[in-house]
């Protein structure tokens, strides 16, 4: 288990170093994800213990956003000063984005015959 | 016996207190979420944030003091992002079969997110700082902050708007997708990840691994697309 946790950290570290040297406008962990993905493609399967470590991290993913979310208290004043434009833009734009992406994917996906039946009953 | 004030001074100076506060608040919120059969309205991030902000305000604690403890949780976001490669790999056959549709949908969503946020705030008289800070709001926080800074916005305001967008999408998204009769897990995951990055992905992952894998992929590709295209488009229009 510790080995695979270390491996995950290594992927992130290499990702961070890659960003620092190339100046690409992407965060290190996203490059780390790409490196891990390429590694899995080469290996051809997911080691069982790596799967366990990854599942443990991912099943608590929403917890990890809480500290950043509490940062709302820092900008309460700024947001209150422009409450209407900011909240209306956030709400409408989020709705439009979800609708546009979802409709586009289900339309193109079903035309390509790649989707349609879902094995797991269609969650979100 | 020391009086309570001394104990408080001691505890509030150690990272343990706010780390524990974060974990306890989340566990209670998650318990509620599970009791409510994972209703999107009971989003655990939303409830944890509200509870913690209330406690910090009531005890007169500032965000920096809180973050000294909470940073240990925050730090794990990086490794968790790397770990999203595993569900993506498990679902890769599916992703590859609909690669063109996936790329096109993410580009459509990415453009819609930035254009509609800026357009609506502009119509309602938002300030220049608010417009710029809103533009990358659907992108995962570290990238969004970088884009905001590059365009002359306020990175820390952007971070907050990103989190709010994530919570909004995770809360409203599932109902909206039901309303649009979109049942396919791939389309639902892609929509959640493009609009509300990691928080949308967390919600998608709680419901199905297919949706979660597509959502994580959408989060990564939307970050890439927005980071590359938004500064170019912004230069053209302003």
Of the pLDDT bands very low, low, confident and very high (cuts 50, 70, 90), residue A122 is: very low
**Of residues A60, A114, A122, nearest to B188 (C-beta):** A122
Note the pLDDT of residue A121.
Answer: 43
> DSSP 3-state assignment of A98?
helix
Do residues B85 and B58 both lie within one domain? no
In order, the DSSP letters of chain B are ---HHHHHHHHHTSHHHHHHHHHHHHHHHHHHHHHTTT-GGG-HHHHHHHHHHHHHHHTT--HHHHHHHHHHHHHTHHHHHHHTHHHHHHTHHHHHHTHHHHHHHHHHHHHHHHHHHHHHHHHTT--HHHHHHHTTTTS-HHHHHHHHHHTT--HHHHHHHHHHHHHHHHHHHHHHHHHTT---HHHHHHHHHHHHHHHHHHHHHHH-HHHHHHHHHHHHHHHHHHHHHHHHHHHHH-
Tally of CB atoms within 10 A around A112: 14
Of the pLDDT bands very low, low, confident and very high (cuts 50, 70, 90), residue B86 is: very high
Cα-based distances in Å from A47 to A1, A40, B68, B74: 10, 9, 35, 27
Residue B1 has pLDDT above 60, yes or no: no
Average pLDDT over residues B33-42: 94
| A to B CB pairs, distance under 8 Å | 371
Query: How close is the nearest chain B Cα to the Cα of A34, in Å?
Result: 7
Angle at which helices B141-150 and B209-237 pack, to 10 degrees?
Answer: 0
Contact assignment for B146 to A25 by CB distance below 8 Å: yes
Which chain A residues contact residue B126 at CB under 8 A? 82, 85-86, 89
Answer with the residue of higher pLDDT: B88 or A36.
Answer: A36
Average pLDDT over residues A63-86: 91
Of the candidate ranges A57-66, B22-31, B182-191, the one whose mean pLDDT is the lowest: A57-66
Four-residue CA torsion sign, B28, B32, B37, B38: negative
Do residues B90 and B139 both lie within one domain? yes
Of the pLDDT bands very low, low, confident and very high (cuts 50, 70, 90), residue B235 is: confident
CA distance B80 to B210: 17
User: Using the 8-state DSSP alphabet, how is residue A122 labeled?
Assistant: -
Do residues B21 and B94 both lie within one domain? no
Do residues A85 and A44 both lie within one domain? no
Do residues B123 and B30 both lie within one domain? no
Is there a contact between B124 and A88 (Cβ–Cβ < 8 Å)? yes
Average pLDDT over residues A56-85: 90
Which chain A residues contact residue B125 at CB under 8 A? 85
Instruction: Among A70, A81, A96, A117, pick the best mutation site for testing chain B contact (most B Cβ within 10 A).
Output: A70
With a threshold of 0.90, tell me whether the complex ipTM lies above it.
no
> What residues contact residue B139 under an 8 Å CB cut-off, 6+ apart?
B147, B162, B197, B222, B223, B226, B227
Do residues A12 and A52 both lie within one domain? yes
Do residues A52 and A83 both lie within one domain? no
Residue A119 has pLDDT above 50, yes or no: no
Do residues A40 and A91 both lie within one domain? no
Note the pLDDT of residue B238.
Answer: 66
Do residues A52 and A102 both lie within one domain? no
Do residues B156 and B92 both lie within one domain? yes
Contact assignment for A90 to B124 by CB distance below 8 Å: no
Answer with the residue of higher pLDDT: A119 or B215.
Answer: B215
Domain that holds residue A94: 75-111
Of the pLDDT bands very low, low, confident and very high (cuts 50, 70, 90), residue A114 is: very low
CA distance B172 to B199: 12
- The number of distinct structural domains making up chain B is 2
Of the pLDDT bands very low, low, confident and very high (cuts 50, 70, 90), residue B2 is: low
Cα-based distances in Å from B70 to A124, B14, B93, B94: 29, 11, 38, 37
Domain boundary among B25, B57, B75: B75
- The values of phi and psi at residue B138, to 5°, are -90, 0
Residue A53 has pLDDT above 90, yes or no: yes
User: Using the 8-state DSSP alphabet, how is residue A113 labeled?
Assistant: T
CA distance A101 to B102: 9
Do residues B85 and B163 both lie within one domain? yes
Do residues A6 and A47 both lie within one domain? yes
Angle at A62 between CA A94 and CA A81, to 5 degrees: 45
Note the pLDDT of residue A124.
Answer: 58
**Nearest CA-CA partner of B203 in B41, B23, B21:** B41
**Of residues A32, A33, A123, nearest to B211 (C-beta):** A123
> DSSP 3-state assignment of A39?
helix
> DSSP 3-state assignment of A114?
coil
Residue B76 has pLDDT above 60, yes or no: yes
**Nearest CA-CA partner of B191 in B136, B120, B138:** B138
Domain that holds residue B31: 4-75
Residue B182 has pLDDT above 80, yes or no: yes
Which chain B residues contact residue A106 at CB under 8 A? 182, 184, 187
**Of residues B25, B86, B146, nearest to A50 (C-beta):** B86
Contact assignment for A65 to B77 by CB distance below 8 Å: yes
- The number of distinct structural domains making up chain A is 2
Of the candidate ranges A20-29, A102-111, B23-32, B138-147, the one whose mean pLDDT is the lowest: A20-29
Residue A79 has pLDDT above 50, yes or no: yes
pLDDT tens column, B111-166: 999 999 999 999 999 999 999 999 999 998 888 988 888 888 888 899 899 999 99
Query: How close is the nearest chain B Cα to the Cα of A7, in Å?
Result: 10
CA distance B86 to B169: 24
Q: Output the average pLDDT for chain B.
A: 91
Do residues B164 and B231 both lie within one domain? yes
pLDDT tens column, B169-181: 999 999 999 999 9
Overall pTM surpassing 0.90 (yes/no): no
Do residues A79 and A38 both lie within one domain? no
Average pLDDT over residues B195-216: 93
Which chain A residues contact residue B141 at CB under 8 A? 68
Percent of chain A with pLDDT over 70: 88
Contact assignment for B100 to A79 by CB distance below 8 Å: no
**Of residues B127, B218, B223, nearest to A30 (C-beta):** B223
């Amino acid at each position: 288990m510790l080995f695979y946790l270390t491996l995950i950290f290594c992927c992130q570290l290499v990702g961070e170093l890659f960003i620092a040297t190339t100046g690409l406008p992407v965060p290190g962990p996203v490059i780390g994800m790409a490196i891990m993905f390429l590694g899995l493609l080469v290996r051809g399967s997911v080691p069982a213990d790596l799967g366990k470590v990854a599942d443990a991290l991912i099943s608590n993913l929403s917890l990890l956003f809480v500290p950043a979310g509490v940062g709302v208290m820092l900008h309460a004043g700024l947001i209150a000063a422009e409450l209407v434009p900011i909240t209306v833009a956030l709400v409408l734009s989020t709705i439009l984005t979800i609708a546009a992406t979802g409709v586009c994917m289900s339309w193109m996906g079903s035309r390509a015959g790649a989707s349609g039946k879902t094995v797991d009953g269609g969650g979100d | 016996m020391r009086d309570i004030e001394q104990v408080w001074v001691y505890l509030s100076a150690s990272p343990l207190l706010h780390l524990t506060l974060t974990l306890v608040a989340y566990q209670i919120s998650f318990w509620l979420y599970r009791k409510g059969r994972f209703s999107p309205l009971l989003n655990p991030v939303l409830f944890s944030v509200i509870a913690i902000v209330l406690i910090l305000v009531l005890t007169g604690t500032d965000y920096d003091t809180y973050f000294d403890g909470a940073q240990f949780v925050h730090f794990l976001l990086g490794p968790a992002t790397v770990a999203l490669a595993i569900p993506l790999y498990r679902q890769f056959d599916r992703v590859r079969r609909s690669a063109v549709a996936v790329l096109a949908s993410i580009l459509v969503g990415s453009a819609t997110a930035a254009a509609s946020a800026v357009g609506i705030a502009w119509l309602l008289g938002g300030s220049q700082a608010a417009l710029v800070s809103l533009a990358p709001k659907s992108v995962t926080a570290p990238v969004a902050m970088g884009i905001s800074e590059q365009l002359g916005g306020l990175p820390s305001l952007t971070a907050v708007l990103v989190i709010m967008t994530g919570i909004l999408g995770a809360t409203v998204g599932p109902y909206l997708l039901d309303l649009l009769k979109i049942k396919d897990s791939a389309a639902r995951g892609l929509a959640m990840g493009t609009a509300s990055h990691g928080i949308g992905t967390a919600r998608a992952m709680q419901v199905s691994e297919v949706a979660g894998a597509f959502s994580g992929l959408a989060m990564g590709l939307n970050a890439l697309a927005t980071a590359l295209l938004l500064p170019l488009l912004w230069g053209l229009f302003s």
